Structure 1
Amino acid sequence: MSPLLRAEDLAVHFRSRNGATARAVDGVNLTVNAGEITALVGESGCGKTTLARTLLGLERPTRGQVSFEGRPLPYSTKGLRAYRRQVQLILQDPTGALNPRQTVYEAVAEGLRIHRTPGNEADQVADALSRAGLRPPERFFRTFPHELSGGQRQRVVIAGALALHPRLLIADEPVASLDASVRGEILALLLKLRADLDLAALVVTHDLGLAWNIADRVAVMYLGRIVEVGPVEQVLTHPQHPYTQALLSVLGETPTVLTGEAPDPTRVPGGCRFHPRCPALATGIADPVAESCRRRDLPILTGATDIEVACHLATAPVRG
């Protein structure tokens, strides 16, 4: 199957005020297939949002390429406008994403007007609201965002994306600002949209529990790189990378507390970039490959559909 969206050797570097180069995304291969939900997980500051913005064309890569349906992403105004009909963003905070002075109707119709979509506007707005679970849709036409609950506001944001009939949604922490009771409803909606519309999604999150419930595949990101990727059930039931294991441990009774903070992206450690915080190295489990962990860099994962892991210990040969 040809990927719907592909990132190849993607890097996004920024120049800091003191002249140092921050490697926010530092070599990423990632694919999202049609009708597939992929979760991109990792702690704050690991590069998830920068990667998502680059996949949307909001950031220009320093190196590498983003392709959609096999064609490189165009960076002209006309090319990006056509691309964003197919790939829509859902933001974390629906309150911030909606103009408080616009009615629900105007918020959903805005994209239709920008892209000059033919057809009856009111019918398209009503259809999008209905698909997003706001029924009867006409009841919400004259409603303002402050009159809605958090879950309803997020549904309006999703309706605005659906109005353009995209192939792919990029959702950045789509339920992080919602009450626990509402999160399941929004996740169920995303799964229903995938089933009904064959809609693909890249869900950016720090929550592995969310990834377990919604994703087909999961990519774990640390300090600008994917360190483990594969089918969600394999990665989350048998994690091979110590970082993935630490993230998963918070769902159990004995969470692993990582030492220190994630390194500054202007000073990426040599060798395995996780080695200064690696529990396996600290406890001696990784002793057979400790020197490699500290000094030998790991290759960038290919982004294939099978499970891959960037860890010297996980890929070390078993000695009998």
Structure 2
Amino acid sequence: MTTDDPLLSADPLLSAGDLHITFPGRRGAPPARAVDGVDLDIKPGEIVALVGESGCGKTTLARSLLGLVAPTSGRVTFGGKPLDYAGRALKAYRKRVQLVLQDPSGSLNPRHTVYEAVAEGLRIHGYGGDEQATVADALSRAGLRPPERFFLRYPHELSGGQRQRVVIAGALVLEPELIVADEPVASLDASVRGEILALLLKLREELGLSALVVTHDLGLAWNIADRVAVMYLGRIVETGTVEEVLTSPQHPYTQALLSVLPEAPGDPVVLTGEPPDPSRIPGGCRFHARCQVLASGEAERAGVADRCRTEDLPVLSGGGETQVACHWAAVNVSPSGV
């Protein structure tokens, strides 16, 4: 992305500021801090990939941005206005921001035809126009042509890729400004994934759609995103343009995620243990218990090992500049480190 790219100067369409989402602990356990201080901006026409392991908080963050989970503290704004969680205001917001789920089989009612599935959003929002023409247009934009051929089909009569296109058509029918796609190709065959990613890019080009793509797959982020935000244990630990983050990762966690891609040079980094419990977030850098840089002695040689274990790192800002929340990266890789 070049420095004269309009995405760098545009005001955010959707913005999260110091977002915290806490869930009560079970059987007297401490509260789980699923999202523990996140700033994130998505600009008009921008595709942002939110990446991380399962359990890192990325789906909870996405649900909050959709208005499905109210934050414990912090704010979500859309078009510069705070998100209103009152019923009528939230219904209007959900028309402008649509969700595309991971499993099209689970998100489509097996008893509803394709036409009914796509028209459902129009009926919920009291659409007064030509329903059939609008459904046909959405199906056509999603790559199901001629659309009338699919009207009376049921989900079980479609391929996995066709079902995902129906889900996308159901989102497009309301003409949203932003879609949140949660693992949009995870359940699809490799041969179909590229088609769905190409469709999302085409929709951005044709309609000016913005998108937040939630994924554990950095290869997918490389193919579709303008910007990437890497999340670990409730916080974004590295962010920047996809080219900068994925060709020159600064955070050890990002380096480990990239190392397991088939085309990555060298041996994969095997992280020890599971991500820590969000109800027991460790002091210092929240990644330090699994960090290969700390375990190898590199952090000690750089003079930051004690800081890694004891000194917390600030929340990264939500803008487009490259940032990393890592004591070691701050002194060894780039002055942009926190």
TM-score band, normalised by the shorter chain? Answer: over 0.9
Answering whether residue 307 of structure 2 is matched by residue 292 of structure 1, we say: yes
TM-superposed deviation, 1:276: 0.3
2:325 maps to what in 1? 310
**1:168 aligns to 2:183 (yes or no):** no
Distance 1:64 1:316 in 2: 31
Query: Unaligned stretches of 5+ in structure 2?
Result: 1-9, 334-338
In structure 2, C-alpha distance between the alignment counterparts of 1:41 and 1:204, rounded to whole Å: 6
Q: Deviations over 1:60-97 (max 9, x none)?
A: 10110000000000101101100011000000000000
Q: Distance in 1 between matches of 2:65 and 2:189?
A: 28
**1:136 is the counterpart of 2:149:** no
Question: For 1:27 and 1:282, how far apart are their aligned partners in 2?
Answer: 26
3-state DSSP class of the match of 2:19?
strand
* Deviates further, 252-261 or 81-90: 252-261
2:282 corresponding residue in structure 1: 269
Structure 1 residue 55 and structure 2 residue 65: aligned? yes
Cα distance in 2 for residues equivalent to 1:317 and 1:240: 9
SS in 1 for 2:308: helix
Q: Percent identity at matched positions?
A: 72
Residue type at the aligned position of 1:223:
L
Aligned residues: 318
Q: Distance in 2 between matches of 1:182 and 1:61?
A: 36
How far residue 17 of structure 1 moved from its aligned partner, in angstroms, is 1.5
1:225 aligns with 235
My pick for the range that moved more, 12-21 or 163-172, is: 12-21
Q: Which amino acid aligns with 1:161?
A: A
Whole-Å separation in 2 of the counterparts to 1:239 and 1:25: 23
Correspondence 1:257 to 2:267: no
Stretch of structure 1 that moved more, 282-291 or 250-259: 250-259
Q: CA deviation at 1:118?
A: 2.1
Pairing 1:22-33 to 2, within 5 Å after superposition: 22-33=32-43
**Equivalent residue for 2:19?**
10
Residue pairs, 1:85-234, within 5 angstroms: 85-234=95-244
Instruction: Please give the per-residue CA displacement for 1:82-134, whole angstroms capped at 9, x wherever unaligned.
Output: 00110000000000000000000000000000001221000000000000000
CA shift at 1:315, angstroms? 1.1
Aligned AA for 1:7? A
Q: How does 1:61-100 map to 2 (within 5 A)?
A: 61-100=71-110
| SS of match in other structure, 1:286 | helix
Q: CA deviation at 1:254?
A: 1.3
- CA deviation map 1:211-256 (0-9, x unaligned): 0000000000000000000000000000000000000000125110
* SS of equivalent residue, structure 2 residue 98: strand
Counterpart pick for 1:283 among 296, 313, 318? 296
Worse overlay, 253-262 or 72-81: 253-262
CA distance in 2, matches of 1:277, 1:120: 56
- The whole-number CA distance in structure 2 between the counterparts of 1:258 and 1:107 is 42
SS in 2 for 1:99: coil
Shift of residue 316, structure 1, vs aligned partner:
2.2
Query: C-alpha distance in 2, partners of 1:69/1:303?
Result: 15
- For 2:59, the aligned partner's letter is T
Report the secondary structure of 1:169's partner residue: strand
Q: Which residue of 1 aligns with 2:5?
A: none
* CA deviation map 1:128-159 (0-9, x unaligned): 00000000000000000000000000000000
The Cα shift of 1:317 comes to: 6.8
Between the aligned partners of 2:128 and 2:201, the Cα distance in structure 1 is 28
Superposed displacement of residue 18, structure 1: 2.1
Distance in 2 (alpha carbons) for counterparts of 1:286 and 1:211: 29
Q: Which string of whole-angstrom CA distances, capped at 9 and with x for unpartnered residues, describes residues 253-273 of structure 1? A: 511000111000011000000
- Which residue pairs with 2:3 in the alignment? none
In 2, Cα distance between the equivalents of 1:52 and 1:137? 31
SS of 1:67's partner is: strand
Q: Tell me by how many angstroms 1:303 deviates.
A: 1.3
Which amino acid in 2 is paired with 1:254?
D
Q: Secondary structure at the match of 2:298?
A: coil
